[in-house]
Structure 1
Amino acid sequence: MANWLEDKPNGKKKEKQTDALSFDATMDSGLRVLGNVKLKGRFLHLSTNSAARAEKGTVLVRKALGDIVGTPLTEIRTVEQMMAERPLRDRGEATSEVPPEIAEQVVHQFMDRQYRETLDQPVGMLGNKTPRQAAESAAGRQKVAEWLKYLENQSAKQPDPADPMATYSFEWMWKELGVHDPRR
């Protein structure tokens, strides 16, 4: 498998819709991952998180490989459809030999790093302000509290309550942003 990366890191983030969620991933170098390419048997799989990226990626693959590849088959799945697909472990199949406590530690460290970076990046749900900027006003703190509750709820939706994503604690973000948790 290989990552399809943007040509160079954006110095300035594109303006996003204020009500849109973003599921972008970035490499340690700052380059955004636009998609993934995997060769499986006689098939080349291109996965992206948008129809526009899929179209652009298909053009790039055809340009690079020419007649070696045939007409692409396209599948579009919603987030809900992907979440509904049961993980292998729910079907009784082993998914990893990594002990659960190690997997949890690794996932939590990744999430800590990802969310620490997110605190300084514009978030659509916060009017394209960074969480730190939004937390500077009373109205902004309310939006930040709603955003944090949204993140917690998404994390808790894992089918397995012991899943490392489900056990992640967002408490440090509430404290760091100085936002009062309305549940307390």
Structure 2
Amino acid sequence: MDNGPLVLGNVELKGRFLHLSANSAARAARGTALIQQALGDLVRTPLTEIRTVEQMKAERPRKGAESSPSNILPEVTEQSIHEYLDRHYLETLDQPVKMLGNKTPRQAAKTAAGRQKVADWLKYLENQTAKQPDPAHPMATYSFGWMWKELGVHDLRR
């Protein structure tokens, strides 16, 4: 990602199945391990499938094609995604961030110059999630307000 974190792949909940897509076997293995560590007995042994680029292109839905609807209520999906993002960003507050000069957000927020960088970083995160094509998508509705308060930079929010 542009702001520093390594992206191992994409995780998508489809009905009762959790799908991890990665562009290498090593990333798939690492992502699977992270998911199994986080979810424990909630997930079973993964089924692995390797596809070529040509196969993936052939399977890609054509423009205008409707994807199959999920069996999960939108409210449950939104709550799950928001809870995941809360955990992810809570951990991120104590991890070095490239945009903050490789300081953690908590460290950067201790100085005047760092506070401005933290505000810029938070605004960047908000703008990235706001780029969702569907304004009702759980990513687009996620609120970073708690992070502004947690880092003591709420007064810099515009």
TM range (shorter): 0.5 to 0.7
Please name the residue that 1:21 is paired with: 3
Q: Distance in 1 between matches of 2:134 and 2:65?
A: 12
Shift of 1:91: 3.9
| 2:144 maps to 1:144 | no
Calculate the TM-score normalised by the size of structure 2. Answer: 0.64
Q: Distance in 1 between matches of 2:86 and 2:151?
A: 14
Calculate the TM-score normalised by the size of structure 1. Answer: 0.55
Q: Distance in 1 between matches of 2:9 and 2:129?
A: 23
Q: Distance in 2 between matches of 1:97 and 1:141?
A: 43
Q: Distance in 1 between matches of 2:111 and 2:127?
A: 24
More helix by share: 2
Q: Distance in 2 between matches of 1:135 and 1:169?
A: 19
Any residues of structure 2 matched to 1:165-180 within 5 Å, and which? 165-179=139-153, 180=155
SS in structure 2 at match of 1:165: coil
Any residues of structure 2 matched to 1:69-84 within 5 Å, and which? none
**Which has the larger Rg?**
1
Q: Point out where structure 2 has 5 or more consecutive residues left out of the alignment.
A: 11-20, 27-50, 55-59
| 2:106 maps to 1:124 | no
Q: How many positions carry a matched residue from both structures?
A: 119
Calculate percent identity across the aligned residue pairs.
60
Q: Distance in 2 between matches of 1:127 and 1:149?
A: 17
Could you report, residue by residue, the CA deviation over 1:87-112 in whole angstroms, capped at 9, with x for unpaired residues?
Answer: x9x74323411111110000000000
Q: Give the superposed CA RMSD.
A: 3.3
Any residues of structure 2 matched to 1:4-153 within 5 Å, and which? 21-24=3-6, 34=8, 47-48=22-23, 54=24, 57=26, 91-153=65-127
More strand by share: 1
Q: Specify which of 110, 117, 135 is matched with residue 161 of structure 1.
A: 135
